[in-house]
Amino acid sequence: MAIEGADTVWVLISAALVLLMLPGLALFYGGLVQRKNVLSSMMHSFVAMGIMALEWVLIGYSLAFADGNSFVGGLGHAFLKGIDAYSVTGTIPTYAFVAFQGMFAIITPALISGAIVGRVKFKSYIAFIALWGLIVYAPVCHWVWGGGFLTGKALDFAGGTVVHITSGISSLAILTYIGKRRGFGVDPLKPHNVTLTLLGGGLLWFGWFGFNAGSALAANEIASLAFITTLIAPAAAGFVWMALEWRHFGYPTALGFATGVLAGLVAITPGAGFVSPMAAIPIGMITSFVCYKAVGLKERFGYDDSLDAFGVHGVGGIVGALLTGVFASVGGTGLLYGNPGQLLIQFQGVVVTIVYAAVGTLLIGFILNRTIGLKVSESEENIGLDKTQHGEFAYNL
């Protein structure tokens, strides 16, 4: 096919918007941690831009999208072999496709950092995301988008399964393995600056338009559909979260509204280009309600999901993927349009991804813990990771 200039421009802009989500994520997470761990938390997002970008072009893209088997791609495109400035994917240069997909590979492991802030060695975090990108992310990406056993079957427009279920389930697995923060459940581990979180949330929503609408890989009607559903679902989700807080606590919180919006963004990601704008409303509302309840489970069961990476991304990704199988009406049909089989396929994709992500993450955690160690010492945790891991402070006042 010939290269279309408008499609190329849109995908390049969308790729840049997705990269902007990393500073947004850094602010979102950075505002939620204690003052002594601000830079450490933000570095988890920023360093992923370096580590994962290099890994993606060296081998990750090939494992995800090169010809291989139903489980993983081969090494045919390692070091971008066989691709040049004139290679075409669809109606855009292949380099544009590689870059756009690379942004997903960058942000996905960074999402996991929200579950383990304040307690993991920085060198271990780097090793973890590098191994996770190869062992967990690349194969699941191949399953869904690269020609694997779910390609053309499971509906995942922009990464509900590939990005959010993998990162959310991996968050639960690794936080369970490394244990709780010191003082969890005893001391008030409150956010140090919610204004940073709100700013980060706004940047995430802004970048998410590129995340979802860019996944059309063209400047067309499907991109427009994904754009408007990405506006509607988080709006509905934020409203529901705010209403639930208002009812339960007597007042709505800024952090609660931002968390609801994030849950809605996660929820609409798998169905952004498959569902109608009106379907985006119940998707956002239902997912917000379920995530609200899921976030409360950590207190009941005592697991330390520091910044609710599992409660929002894992649970939201699962609910969003299943609801796509209910409401899909564009480019595929779901349960409400006479195709109950699609919901079954969505369920199967969710289950296999949960199992694989959990097992792969625990394996990586076990290897790293037995070699270089995962968790910082008690004294380092007390002092804070900004000082002990990076030798600096976020604020010199």
Quickly state the pLDDT bin for 303 (edges 50, 70, 90).
confident
Structure-block tokens of residue 331:
């480019």
Mean pLDDT for 249-278 is: 97
Q: To 10 degrees, what angle do helices 94-112 and 138-145 make?
A: 130
Give whole-number Cα distances, 160 to 88, 133, 188, 299, 321, in Å. Answer: 26, 16, 33, 26, 6
Are 145 and 83 contacting, i.e. CB atoms less than 8 angstroms apart?
Answer: no
| Range scoring the smallest mean pLDDT among 51-55, 180-184, 346-350 | 180-184
Are 265 and 207 within 8 A, CB to CB? no
CA-to-CA dists, residue 311 to 88, 127, 237, 305, 307, angstroms:
39, 25, 14, 8, 9
Dig out the tokens for 99 from the structure. 């870059």
The pair phi, psi for residue 375, each rounded to 5°, is -90, 145
pLDDT at 185: 65
Q: What per-residue confidence (pLDDT) applies to 344?
A: 98
What's the confidence (pLDDT) of residue 188? 66
Do residues 161 and 149 make contact, with C-beta atoms less than 8 angstroms apart? Answer: no
Q: d(Cα 16, Cα 20) in Å, to the nearest integer?
A: 6
pTM for the complete prediction? 0.96
Structural tokens at position 275: 């569902």
Q: Above pLDDT 90, what percent of the chain?
A: 93
Distance (Å, whole) CA 28 – CA 197:
4
Confidence of residue 1 (pLDDT cuts 50, 70, 90): confident
Bridge partners, residue 120, by sequence = 375
| HSE-up of residue 315 (Cα within 13 Å, Cβ side) | 24
CA distance 37 to 48: 17
Q: What percentage of the chain reaches a pLDDT higher than 70?
A: 99
The span from the CA of 329 to the CA of 340, in Å, is: 12
Between 115-119, 209-213, 290-294, 338-342, the lowest mean confidence (pLDDT) is in 115-119
| Secondary-structure percent of the chain, ordered helix, strand, coil, rounded to 5 | 70, 0, 25
100, amino acid identity: F
What are the tens digits of pLDDT across the range 149-185? 999 999 999 999 999 999 999 999 999 999 888 777 6
Burial of 299 (0-12, 13-18, 19+ CB in 10 A): exposed
Identity of the amino acid at 385: L
In this prediction, residue 218 carries a pLDDT of 98
pLDDT at residue 190, rounded to an integer: 85
Question: How far apart are the C-alpha atoms of 307 and 253, rounded to whole Å?
Answer: 16
Q: Are 284 and 300 in contact (CB under 8 A)?
A: no
Q: Look at residue 186 and tell me whether its pLDDT is greater than 80.
A: no
